[in-house]
Structure 1
Amino acid sequence: MLQRFSFTLLRPLLTLIAVLAAIVVLWQLYHYYTYAPQTRDGKISADVVPLATDVSGRVDEVYIHDNQVVRKGQLLLSLDKVRLRNALAQAEATVEQASVQLSSSRRENQRYQTLQSAISQQERDNHHDAQLLAKANLDQALADRELARINLQRADLFAPVDGVITNFSLRPGAYASAGQPVMALVDSHSFYIAGYFEETKLGHIQNGDQVIIRIMGENQPLYGHVDGLSAGINDSERTTAAGNLLANVNPTFSWIRLAQRIPVRIAIDKVPDGVQLIAGRTATVSLENENAGAKAIIPSSFTHLP
């Protein structure tokens, strides 16, 4: 009789304990996903250098291919240099001509300056000015020759940083215009994580906070730290009407106000072997600090969601 009474009393007690535990777990889950500094809206980002030639011309040689790893200073391509060499030869000839004219003007000026009693002051001034003009013409010719040399040197395109050539299909014979990018170089030393955190969680994020990063498709986590928060985001609901300097704000009638997402820059401190950093890959970012105490009871299956 006593055993049956104990069992009858124990069953609702266990049920109550289970219900309370479930309530605590659900509350902690709600608190974690609402206020804890974590986001599944993260991306691997990197600086992309658009490479362009300084001069225009036909592509003569291409020394790299798509997705190739290159080093700083490596030769990537060369333009046809026939016209550029010809321009340099013309500039050198112009320098020689201007040098001869300057020597002639200098002799004439010296001769006329000694004949002070035989000629007028105006004639002496004219020959003095002619010497100065010849000197200026020589300086211009020297500058043009230096520019021709620079153009000849810039017909070769070198990698400015270490990186990977991507989305590249340029072949010999194509025409490259000065200043128009012909390839993209992803800087290997510029990778970082762009985490988009809800504004309700920004109060728990400080510069230097340690971060765990999980890349979709990778089993090993990355480690980093908060490097800074964005100073502003675009207000898509505010525009300026044509001819009116006042702000045109669209009225909002939605009952639920969703939290804005603010970009947070995450510096990568450690990358495990075998993990590929590719700009655009999806990442989950979780901050490991004292403000995220709810993490202690969150099952790993929740924190590893892609």
Structure 2
Amino acid sequence: MFKRYMITLLFVVAALCVMYSEYQTYVDNPWTRDGQVRAYVIQVTPRVTGQIVSINVKDNSRVEKGDVIFEIDPSLYETNFHKAIASNKQAAALVNKAKNELNRAVNLEKLTPGAQSELALNNLQNAVESADANALLAKAQMDEAQLNLAYTKVTAPTDGYITNFNASIGSQVIANSPVVALIDENSFWVEGFFKETDLSNVDVNNKAQVTLLMHDKQLLNGEVQSIGYGISKTDGSTGNALLPNVNPSFEWIRLAQRIPVKIKLKNVPDNIQLRVGMTASIKIQKQHVTNSSSN
């Protein structure tokens, strides 16, 4: 009987030791399954309005910076550019004419003093300045027309992946209205939401380990890049009839809020393609806690 009690006691002690060890590991290395892969998503937006006449990429394909994604009908913008060139030349000719008239009047005044009144000379000088201003305006309009013509080719602003591209040849696009999403391939990170009670002594540059649900056999290394400074409040927000929403709570329960922590991955294997929205588990290693305990 005594032997049975001793064996039971040993099992209880061993279980308590394991539980304590796991608890200490969790305290020193906070962990969460509430993580997601994130990246900067660029809304590719045309700067001019027109009909799509050419598409050079497929949906869910990779593009490099400067690649032409699609092209808008340039005919109208070519015409406007040619008109602007003509207006610019005409403005330059008017400048030359005004300067010639002014020079003629000035030379005539030098040869025959009093041949030109001061008012006439001032008017000719004003005509030159006005012609110069019109020439500058014509030059600006020509540059704008040239830019609009260049904008008919919509290019990728960075290396990345085209996604949710539903437009086709013949579709009408509107200036400053997004057409397709481009995911910046150099901006991927993992964002985990940790309980505020787990973030004590967690600092930037602490090492982290990430496991993706899609690749649960491979462990990815990273480090804490930043810790969020705020989250949206729920209590006090306006509800129906302009009354505040207040969530019911119990005095003996204090729910820990979840704070976003940004993890930058390092040396992602070639066989893993990160995708925005993928589920991830994250464990943070509190390096300074380990160092203090070793001292």
TM-score by length of 2: 0.88
Instruction: From 64, 70, 74, give the equivalent of 2:63.
Output: 70
Give the Cα–Cα distance (whole angstroms) in 2 for the partners of residues 252 and 32 of structure 1.
34
Give the Cα–Cα distance (whole angstroms) in 1 for the partners of residues 287 and 133 of structure 2.
71
Any idea what the Cα deviations from partners look like across 1:86-110, whole Å, max 9, x if unmatched? 0011001101111121111111112
| Pair 1:290–1:123, CA change in 2 (3 A) | closer
Secondary structure at the counterpart of residue 123 of structure 1: helix
Give the Cα–Cα distance (whole angstroms) in 2 for the partners of residues 291 and 259 of structure 1.
24
Q: CA deviation at 1:29?
A: 4.3
State yes or no: 1:220 paired with 2:213.
no
Structure 1 unmatched ranges of 5 or more: 1-7, 294-306
Give the Cα–Cα distance (whole angstroms) in 1 for the partners of residues 77 and 248 of structure 2.
62
Give the Cα–Cα distance (whole angstroms) in 1 for the partners of residues 210 and 96 of structure 2.
72
The letter for the 2-side match of 1:163 is G
Secondary structure at the counterpart of residue 101 of structure 1: helix
Aligned 8 A contact 1:36 1:291 in 2: no
- How many percent of aligned residue pairs carry the same amino acid? 32
| Pair 1:233–1:55, CA change in 2 (3 A) | same
Q: How many residues align?
A: 282
Aligned 8 A contact 1:37 1:292 in 2: no
| Pair 1:35–1:236, CA change in 2 (3 A) | farther
Aligned 8 A contact 1:224 1:269 in 2: yes
Name the residue aligned to 2:53.
Answer: 60
Aligned 8 A contact 1:70 1:162 in 2: yes
- Pairs within 5 Å for 1:1-306: 8-30=1-23, 36-113=29-106, 114-115=108-109, 116-218=113-215, 219-239=217-237, 250=246, 253-255=249-251, 256-290=253-287
Secondary structure at the counterpart of residue 65 of structure 1: coil
Secondary structure at the counterpart of residue 129 of structure 2: helix
Secondary structure at the counterpart of residue 204 of structure 1: coil
Any idea what the Cα deviations from partners look like across 1:130-158, whole Å, max 9, x if unmatched? 11101111111111111111111111111
| Pair 1:104–1:91, CA change in 2 (3 A) | same
Give the Cα–Cα distance (whole angstroms) in 1 for the partners of residues 45 and 214 of structure 2.
35
Give the Cα–Cα distance (whole angstroms) in 2 for the partners of residues 208 and 128 of structure 1.
67
Give the Cα–Cα distance (whole angstroms) in 2 for the partners of residues 225 and 258 of structure 1.
27
Give the Cα–Cα distance (whole angstroms) in 2 for the partners of residues 195 and 251 of structure 1.
25
Structure 2 unmatched ranges of 5 or more: 291-295
Secondary structure at the counterpart of residue 200 of structure 2: helix
| Pair 1:292–1:9, CA change in 2 (3 A) | farther
Give the Cα–Cα distance (whole angstroms) in 1 for the partners of residues 200 and 285 of structure 2.
14
CA RMSD of aligned residues (A): 2.3
Aligned 8 A contact 2:36 2:276 in 1: yes
Q: CA deviation at 1:30?
A: 5.0
Give the Cα–Cα distance (whole angstroms) in 1 for the partners of residues 236 and 122 of structure 2.
68
TM-score by length of 1: 0.85
| Pair 1:204–1:38, CA change in 2 (3 A) | farther
Q: CA deviation at 1:240?
A: 7.3
Any idea what the Cα deviations from partners look like across 1:72-98, whole Å, max 9, x if unmatched? 111111110100000011001101111
Secondary structure at the counterpart of residue 208 of structure 2: strand
The letter for the 1-side match of 2:219 is P
Aligned 8 A contact 1:220 1:275 in 2: no
